[in-house]
Amino acid sequence: MVTDRQTLAARPRRALCPAHPRHPLHPSRKPMLDLQYIYDNIDAVAKNCENRGVKVDLDQLKTLRDQRNALITETDAARHASKELSSKIPKADAATKAALVDEGRKLRETIAALEEKQREIEVALKEIQAAIPNMTHPDAPVGRLESESVAVRTWGEPPKFDFEPLDHVALCEKHQLYDLEAGARVAGHGFYFLKNEAVLLELALIQYAVQIVRKHGFTLHSTPDIARQDVLEGTGYQPRGNETQIYSIKDTDLCLVATAEITLGGTLKDQVLNVEQLPLKYAGISHCFRTEAGAHGKATRGIYRVHQFTKVELFAFTAPDVAESDAMHQQIVAIEEEIFQGLGIPYRVLDICTGDLGGPAYRKYDLEAWMPGRNEWGEITSASNCTDFQARRLGTRCKSGDKKGTQFVHTLNGTAVAITRALIAVLENYQQADGSIVIPEVLRPWVGQDKIG
């Protein structure tokens, strides 16, 4: 994912918490850790929250959990009584019947009151539960600051220019590769027209990425660009509210997707799979729409941070086993690296530190490309292993022959190529002294020329 971690990856929590569990902003709508797991591993969870810089009242959670269980027992007993009573009514004579019906009516009220109480406790409980982030891979670097993420490896050499390199803004203007003014006129700031070779590059990058991921067994999808609210919620996005990153369509429950992670993850919402079907490897092409709320003033020049871009995304469902999802995570990162190595873009791989993981990720690697125009590294991809955190909310489970019941699968997502960021990296790294831009070898079959200008 190419995204501002502060705003999207962190997925800020709601400010207000409406009481109804079905309310779109209700905390239960977020992915979360299993309640029983938290209860049984309270110390480990507490330690993890601390590492991630998240404050949670686990004592309160424990209290509420006990209250909840007691209430469930009580409510179930009341319902049992009610059922028993009802079954007597058909056989009763008229006199006792009236009395029984009356008693039943009272029982119904009791049950309703208990249920109401249970709901209240559940709301409070889930509010805490939803604030608890996923557990963390033992090898992930512990740290609070973005700078504490660890560069695990670097590939390629930042190009040395014997001239003053231009940034993508200058390059795009010079070669008429985009039209920001027209974009703003048509749709507002943050929207843009790609033009000329940039259009060909966009198509070429998609083709190139799609060919590679397909080679690695990812099933290609071109996905809807909109999704229902409950799909957004299932994948852990907050569709509405003040700080949302998501555009929603008025008077409907539809939203513009921020990534194909949402649509691909949604494909198996509430499904029970057979463990033998796993892993499932999906790739999706979609447009991505992001409001970038709260991101004003940060790198707003050009197309580094925009409200819409096109992306090829990888998504995987694996067996509920950390060894499995870990291996898939490595594979996804390897594919991302293969893509950027093929493009000849220098990059480094960051092992994201605990404080910057966001809620759902168990571990996350970002690729940052060298961007000469910024004279620094810039995020181009992001790959997360969400273990079962997202699947719990999505309701994607699997059955394995030897085990009773079902387990939540593990989900992973990663960027194959996000067009705007990749475009910046290509343009800036391949610029020449004469102002022209060389087209990377691997893209030429689709671009149809070897340089711009």
Partner RNA sequence: GGAGAGGUGGCUGAGCGGUCUAAAGCACCGCAUUGCUAAUGCGGCGUAGGUGUCAAAGCCUACCGGGGGUUCGAAUCCCCCCCUCUCCGCCA
Report the interface residues with RNA, using CB under 7 A: 22, 35-36, 69-70, 72-73, 75-77, 79-80, 82-83, 85-87, 89-90, 100-101, 104-105, 107-108, 397, 399, 404-406
Phi, psi of 302 (to 5 degrees): 70, -145
In the complex, what is the shortest distance from the CB of residue 145 to RNA, in angstroms, rounded to a whole number?
A: 37
In the complex, what is the shortest distance from the CB of residue 81 to RNA, in angstroms, rounded to a whole number?
A: 8
Contact between 342 and 208 under an 8 Å Cβ cutoff? The reply is yes
In the complex, what is the shortest distance from the CB of residue 235 to RNA, in angstroms, rounded to a whole number?
A: 18
Contact between 141 and 323 under an 8 Å Cβ cutoff? The reply is no
Nearer to RNA, 85 or 203 (CB): 85
CA distances from 103 to 80, 109, 382 (A): 14, 10, 61
CA distances from 403 to 275, 326, 367, 407, 408 (A): 11, 22, 38, 9, 13
421 is catalytic: yes
In the complex, what is the shortest distance from the CB of residue 428 to RNA, in angstroms, rounded to a whole number?
A: 37
In the complex, what is the shortest distance from the CB of residue 408 to RNA, in angstroms, rounded to a whole number?
A: 9
Burial pattern 399-420, b for ≥16 Cβ within 10 A else e, equals ebeeeeeebbbbbbbbbbbbbb
Nearer to RNA, 10 or 17 (CB): 17
In the complex, what is the shortest distance from the CB of residue 182 to RNA, in angstroms, rounded to a whole number?
A: 24
Phi, psi of 283 (to 5 degrees): -125, 140
Residue 146 DSSP class: G
368 is catalytic: no
Rounded Cα distance between 191 and 314, Å, is 25
433: Cα separation from own chain's centroid? 40
In the complex, what is the shortest distance from the CB of residue 195 to RNA, in angstroms, rounded to a whole number?
A: 24
13 is catalytic: no
Nearer to RNA, 93 or 434 (CB): 93
Rounded Cα distance between 409 and 386, Å, is 10
Other Cβ atoms within 10 Å of 101 Cβ, number: 13
Burial pattern 292-322, b for ≥16 Cβ within 10 A else e, equals bbebeeeeeebbbbbbbbbbbbbbbbbbbbb
Q: Among the options 379, 384, 397, 428, which is catalytic?
A: 379
Rounded Cα distance between 201 and 444, Å, is 9
Largest CA distance in the chain: 103
> Is the bond leading into 224 cis (omega within 30 degrees of zero)?
no
Other Cβ atoms within 10 Å of 250 Cβ, number: 5
290 is catalytic: yes
Nearer to RNA, 112 or 184 (CB): 112
In the complex, what is the shortest distance from the CB of residue 11 to RNA, in angstroms, rounded to a whole number?
A: 24
The tokens of 112 are what? 């309703």
Q: Which residue has the tokens 């409200």?
A: 307
Q: Among the options 29, 290, 363, 393, which is catalytic?
A: 290
Q: Which residues contact 403 (CB under 8 A, 6 or more apart)?
A: none
**CA neighbor of 412 nearest in space, from 309, 290, 321, 326:** 326
Helix (H, G, I), strand (E, B) or coil at 22: coil
Nearer to RNA, 6 or 406 (CB): 406
Rounded Cα distance between 310 and 284, Å, is 10
Nearer to RNA, 12 or 104 (CB): 104
Nearer to RNA, 107 or 442 (CB): 107
Q: Among the options 65, 382, 384, 392, which is catalytic?
A: 382
In the complex, what is the shortest distance from the CB of residue 209 to RNA, in angstroms, rounded to a whole number?
A: 25
Q: Among the options 5, 29, 52, 305, which is catalytic?
A: 305
382 is catalytic: yes
Nearer to RNA, 65 or 364 (CB): 65
Q: Tell me the residue type at 24.
A: P
Q: Among the options 149, 363, 421, 428, which is catalytic?
A: 421
Nearer to RNA, 106 or 189 (CB): 106
Rounded Cα distance between 324 and 354, Å, is 21
> Annotated catalytic sites, by residue?
290, 305, 379, 382, 421
